[in-house]
Amino acid sequence: MIRMDDDRFRMLMMKALDGELAGSEHSEFENFLSEEKRMNEWNKYRKLKEATMSLKMKTPSGEIWDSYWGGVYNCFERGFA
Amino acid sequence: MKPSFEQDSDLIRRAQSGEKAAYGLLVQSYMQPAYYSALALVGSHDDALDLSQQAFIRTWKAISRFEAGKKFFTWYYRILRNLCLNRLRDRSRHARTFSDFDNVIDIADEASDPSALLEREQLRSEVRSALGKLRPEEREIIVMKEFDDYSYMEISELLECPIGTVMSRLYYARKHLKELLEDLL
């Protein structure tokens, strides 16, 4: 039973983090958070998500987009296609 | 602007009849998500550029087999992903470690509250390093969700797995990341 609750909580927590909770899942998730241990876990995942979302892949120099298709096309012309 | 399914279908039909210029427009529509997806997996600019271009060459070679009604990028992504995972396997066979992830991730926004700046900067810096320590498949799904903001449905299409599996994979990837950062959370 505890194992099932844990699995359900994890699934709801992922949905809550990603804004994918639907209908009665909101109140079900709120009920889980009445337990201090689960609330602490939730707060850690929220903090982690916030930090991760503030990162992005580094933008390469603009020229790579200008020559990108040319690079693919040259391979066709050299007979790799 | 994101290309529409109809625009893609038209370009694919023209490419299937041998029109390279039409395929070029398709490449230009998807080169950026292609490059960034590869970068998230392999962590190197040169490899991401090379592999994403190679995948476009492979999809061109197989374009006649592309099934109408499917999404081009989903099809392309499967090929790209295999190329990236193979490159990582080759690297590990040749004892080249994946250590340069710090160089390919940037800060997306600046903290507005100066008092929180230091703590936040430390956490972001540690998250950046920790992402490089994840398995490529773990990093991939976190980048899809947190950087690219794909929905569960979109991730499920790209990774060819049910939505329940997407949630489960996300949970284990985030759990691993959390364990690497436990002292800071």
ipTM of this complex: 0.88
Integer Cα distance of B13 and B27 in angstroms: 14
**Closest CB from A57, A64, A76 relative to B147:** A57
B88 near B98, Cβ under 8 Å? yes
Report the residue of chain A nearest B60, measured CA to CA.
A81
In which element (H, E) is residue B105 found? strand B105-107
Length of chain B counted residue by residue = 185
Q: Residues, chain A, total?
A: 81
Residue B82 three-state SS:
helix
Q: CA B42 → CA B7, B82, B101, B132, distances in Å? A: 30, 11, 9, 10
Residue type, B108: A
- State the average pLDDT over residues A61-80: 86
- CB nearest to A69's CB, from B28, B120, B142: B28
Q: Is the dihedral of CA B6, B9, B13, B15 positive or negative?
A: positive
Averaged in consecutive runs of 10 residues, what is the pLDDT profile of chain B (185 residues)? Answer: 80 94 95 95 93 96 91 96 94 60 74 69 86 93 94 95 95 96 87
Closest CA of chain B from A65, distance in Å: 8
Q: Give B24's contacts in chain A (Cβ within 8 Å).
A: 69, 72-73
The answer to whether the predicted template modeling score (pTM) of the entire model surpasses 0.95 is no
What's the pLDDT score for residue A62?
82
Q: Which residue has the tokens 């295999």?
A: B82
Pair B105, A57: CB distance under 8 Å = yes
Q: In the predicted model, what is the mean pLDDT of residues A22-27?
A: 94
